[in-house]
Amino acid sequence: MESSAVLGGLQPNYLLCPSHNPSSSLPLRPFSFTSHSSPLSLKLQKQPPLTSHGAAAAAAASPIGGYTASSDTFVSETSELADIDWDNLGFAFHSTDYMYVMKCAQGGNFPKGELQSFGNIELSPSAGVLNYGQGLFEGLKAYRKEDGTIHLFRPEENALRMRLGAERMCMPSPTVKQFVEAVKATVLANKRWVPPPGKGSLYIRPLLMGSGAVLGLAPAPEYTFLIYVSPVGNYFQEGVAPINLIVEHELHRATPGGTGGVKTIGNYAAVLKAQSAAKAKGYSDVLYLDCVHKKYLEEVSLCNIFVVKDNVISTPAIKGTILPGVTRKSIIDVARSEGFQV
């Protein structure tokens, strides 16, 4: 995508990889993995490590719903769609039917959770997440295909990323299996909110937070894992079109040794000042530089970044200040399988 950053006297194309808010209509240049995503599908069982030969399959979504073992096909229950304006969703919250909740004590393991009617939750004013920011979140999407099946995009990767973040933030975390099963249960319980094909996706927001009361600075005594969902359209108002970024030279998103490499909630409020100023000037978002040298590209407020020049695709390395995006990883896998140098 075009931006205001110029590297080496050249104006590169920027590929935005929405690790924070992946979009079903990601504008990729100069290559696209559209051709890989529609005819392939992945089961939700544990996948082996990706190789360059299996990279194309990584771009496929994992179907959920009823599984017919004999024919190895996936089917989805038919359901009426919610009565909303599917043509004008935007990226705004819509209250849905159910959320998934499970709790555990510090040092314990999460038991099986349960679906509850969507609604407000109760927290102590002294909850660890409110006082000390002990919390993580994830973001992934479910898509409805033309045949009615509902698909997820590599949810096990989000589960693994949450577990890494939980270790950094001194929190227990659901297992990968618990995470994926909870996502599946929440999506199927809210299947009438999954947009029709081409109209958007069902955004899935898993939360992990220190919900127990704590006064002194310490890990909370209790933790809550919660998933809620909302139908969404494109994140950026430009839709499937280039966006304008402004390079920020003074404010920084993350520092070496900090928490920029995990999806902790505190990482995001810190970008609001620069982002608000950028939008007031007509830009879509902010492109941050490293905080040490103030000249190397790191990340956009809400997504990873790629620079494309000829047959070479470059992206900042994962060294603790950049979030390891699921879409980022998938683009790298697909690009290498297509002969690009990454």
Active site residues: 263
Q: Give me the amino acid identity at 254.
A: A
Neighbours of 49 (CB within 10 A): 5
Side chain identity at residue 46, one-letter code: K
**Long-range contact list for 34-43, CB < 8 A, 24+ apart?**
36/60, 36/334, 37/61, 41/74, 41/151, 42/154
For residue 205 the two structure tokens come to: 């927001």
